[in-house]
Structure 1
């Protein structure tokens, strides 16, 4: 999928979470929360 984007500057990251974004274990942040934090951090770096 990354190759299909066609951009020269790409960043990727992996977050812990279940298929639909749920937490892996009780008490952990959800995958959705972790992904949102990653996106916010990446967006802040490019502004």
Structure 2
């Protein structure tokens, strides 16, 4: 888990709180995974 809150995380929080949660838990999804693409599609609509 992120021990220091850096300005970048605060900025990301305003854009996408889910991304900050993933970063805080050191979860980096595989960008070419089809499930990640489906999740992006749901998030955008």
TM-score by length of 1: 0.31
Instruction: Name the structure where helix makes up a greater proportion of residues.
Output: 2
Look at both structures and tell me which one has the larger radius of gyration over its CA atoms.
Answer: 1
Greater relative contact order (Cα < 8 A, sep 6+): 2
